[in-house]
Structure 1
């Protein structure tokens, strides 16, 4: 499931994030790439231990915790700390690749399966040309370039790339999620059911049918979830 989520960051949080990015010192993005990805990765990245990266991580994680659509779509079990990259100038693209299946939380003691890949856009799209995230989806190639503060979720199994930035700079946060529900098909069914339940409640309140369907949703989640 490829899903676009609007306004993950509030205007205030987005303004804070952009100010932090303007003051940050960047390094070669290949420093954190695996052997295959390093061959096609050409961007810049914030050092994870920097003051700016730490503050930005808190902004993003707090926004995710407050966003009901994100929780419904991802059903997160573990979220890897967000990272931050920049595309522009001579460091302006990332060729086709697939994300690592398993990554480590900081400290290297706990493994995280990368079920879902996430990109949170932090630069206004009119400020740069190119830079589309191109994902090979079930229904063909999807080209994604969103407003600052918006986010896209897509399966970690997808081949994807970032097209060259030819003007300005593309700034974004990227991270991975291990979901309580490993199957993308099962997550899609649960998400669609949850969205329908929200509409039913808004239109009809807690009717008998709504309560019964809510029970079905939770029984499916109970059946499929690994907590």
Structure 2
């Protein structure tokens, strides 16, 4: 499931993040890629050893975890520390699929990457190119969102970032291990949850809605790992 999550960050939060990130230090992004992906990766990443990094990563995680749409869609069990990348002067990242297992540098926990997250931090009018292209069974999807908005999509998807030909594109990114590993089951649970919310707003907590809510939780209980 590919889903647009609006307003993860407020404009004020975006401005604060960008001001801190602007000074760097920025490193060659290829050093954090696998051997195959490194050949396709031409961008910069904010150093995870910088003194400012832990607070930036935590701010991004906190904002995402507070968003009800994200919680419903992702059903997160674990979120890897956010990182930050920068594309400029033709920077690009060719076709690749994210690593299936990644290490949380703080906890030492190995995390299965079910869902990829990108939070855009640059206004789309401030740079040219830089679209995130995600391929799935329904075709190719071009994503270029307002600053502060996020896109989530299956980490198994083939995807790329088109060259940035003018300006700069800055984004936060991370991966999520979901309580429900199966993407189709997560999608069904999300659609059921959204429908229940609409019905509850229209009809209140009727006997039928309480029963459907019970079915939702029983499915979640059965499918979660």
Does TM, normalized by the shorter one, top 0.5? yes
Cα 1:216–1:108 shift into 2, 3 Å = closer
Q: Give the number of equivalent residue pairs.
A: 225
CA–CA separation in structure 1 for the residues paired with 2:106 and 2:196: 40
Q: For 1:198, what is the secondary structure of its paired residue?
A: helix
2:113 aligned residue:
114
State the secondary structure of the residue aligned to 2:20. helix
Counterparts of 1:110 and 1:153, CA distance in 2: 22
- The corresponding residue for 1:9 is 9
Q: Cα RMSD (Å) of the superposition?
A: 1.1
Q: Any stretches of 5+ residues in structure 2 without a counterpart?
A: none
The structural deviation recorded for 1:98 is 0.5
Q: CA deviation at 1:156?
A: 0.6
Counterpart for residue 26 of structure 1: 26
The equivalent residue for 2:224 is: 225
Runs of 5+ consecutive residues of structure 1 not aligned to the other structure: none
Once residues 56 and 9 of structure 2 are traced to their aligned partners in structure 1, the CA distance between those partners, rounded to angstroms, is 11
Per the TM alignment, residue 62 of structure 1 is displaced from its structure 2 partner at its CA by 1.2
Query: Which stretch shifts more, 144-153 or 13-22?
Result: 13-22
Q: CA deviation at 1:65?
A: 2.1
Q: Secondary structure at the match of 1:51?
A: coil
Q: Which residue of structure 2 aligns with residue 89 of structure 1? A: 89
Q: Is 1:36 paired with 2:36?
A: yes
| Mapped partners of 2:194, 2:88: distance in 1 | 38
Query: Secondary structure at 2:78's aligned position in 1?
Result: strand
Residue number in structure 1 paired with 2:50: 50
Question: 2:52 is paired with a residue of what secondary structure?
Answer: helix
CA drift of 1:15 comes to 1.9
For 1:204 and 1:115, how far apart are their aligned partners in 2? 35
In 2, the alpha carbon distance for the partners of 1:13 and 1:108 equals 27
**What does residue 167 of structure 1 align with?**
166
Equivalent residues in 2 for 1:160-199 (5 A)? 160-199=159-198
Give the Å deviation of 1:26.
0.6
